[in-house]
């Protein structure tokens, strides 16, 4: 059983990569944007960056989805910005990650084993993509705030970084390869 979070700034290709990979593998796919509150969507549409208070309930709800899939032994992919280490910790451990940076204690639910796939690329390429995108609540003006917020994954997090400058097939192949190589560890 494998849980993957495709992460990165808005416009990095999380939804495209995640949904196509899930379809190819026959896994469930979730887009974190579908779970933002109307208030969060309104705030972003007005060009106001979300803060931690806005994001924490959303991240806890996403953790619950991943926990449910883990409990039912269902492979799943979530497309989610997950820009800060704390946000990724909440996806892994739920609300308990907010109070402490410690692993789950005896009696608590074990932390989820998630592979984070960081779609990374230069701001000019991402900005170009956002300029071409229509009908999304995330305006181009907020891209700089996302880069300012971004804390790229690092050890001991379970992650790979994939360049968005590669083609979609190359990106998917790199992710599939990482999943296959790490599957024994992830189960």
**What CATH code is carried by the domain that includes residue 43?**
3.40.50.300
CA–CA separation, 143 and 84 (whole Å): 15
CA atoms within 13 A on the CB side of 41: 10
- Strand ranges of the sheet holding 159-163, from the earlier edge strand across to the other edge: 28-31, 76-79, 3-7, 114-120, 159-163
Q: Is residue 79 part of a domain?
A: yes
Structure tokens at 71: 């409990």
Q: Is residue 92 part of a domain?
A: yes
Q: What is the mean pLDDT of residues 153-158?
A: 92
Full residue range of the structural domain in which residue 10 is found: 3-151
pLDDT at 95 over 50: yes
To the nearest whole percent, how much of the chain has pLDDT over 90?
65
Q: Is residue 169 part of a domain?
A: no
CA–CA separation, 164 and 26 (whole Å): 23
Q: Is residue 184 part of a domain?
A: no
Lowest mean pLDDT, pick from 8-17, 42-51, 75-84, 98-107: 98-107
Q: Is residue 10 part of a domain?
A: yes
Q: Is residue 158 part of a domain?
A: no
**Contact in structure between 93 and 104 (CB atoms under 8 Å):** yes
Q: Is residue 64 part of a domain?
A: yes
Cis peptide leading into residue 156 (ω within 30°): yes
Q: Is residue 63 part of a domain?
A: yes
pLDDT at 81 over 80: yes
Q: How does pLDDT run across 102-122, given as a tens digit for each residue?
A: 444 434 467 899 999 999 999
Structure tokens at 102: 């410690």
**pTM of the full structure:** 0.88
Into how many domains does the chain fold? 1
């Amino acid at each position: 059983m494998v849980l993957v979070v495709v992460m990165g700034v808005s416009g990095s290709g999380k939804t495209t990569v995640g949904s196509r990979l899930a379809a190819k593998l026959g896994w469930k796919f979730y887009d974190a944007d579908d779970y933002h509150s109307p208030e969060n969507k309104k705030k972003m549409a007005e060009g106001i960056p979300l803060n931690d208070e806005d994001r924490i309930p959303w991240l806890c709800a996403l953790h619950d989805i991943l926990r449910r899939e883990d409990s039912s032994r269902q492979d799943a992919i979530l497309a989610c910005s997950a820009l800060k280490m704390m946000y990724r910790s909440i996806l892994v451990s739920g609300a308990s990650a907010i109070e402490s940076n410690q692993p789950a204690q005896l009696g608590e639910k074990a932390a989820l084993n998630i592979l984070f796939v960081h779609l990374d690329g230069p701001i000019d390429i991402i900005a170009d993509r956002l300029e071409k995108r229509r009908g999304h609540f995330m305006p181009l003006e907020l891209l700089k705030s996302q880069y300012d917020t971004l804390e790229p994954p690092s050890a001991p997090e379970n992650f790979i970084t994939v360049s968005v400058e590669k083609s979609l097939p190359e990106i998917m192949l790199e992710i599939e390869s990482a999943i296959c190589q790490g599957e024994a560890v992830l189960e």
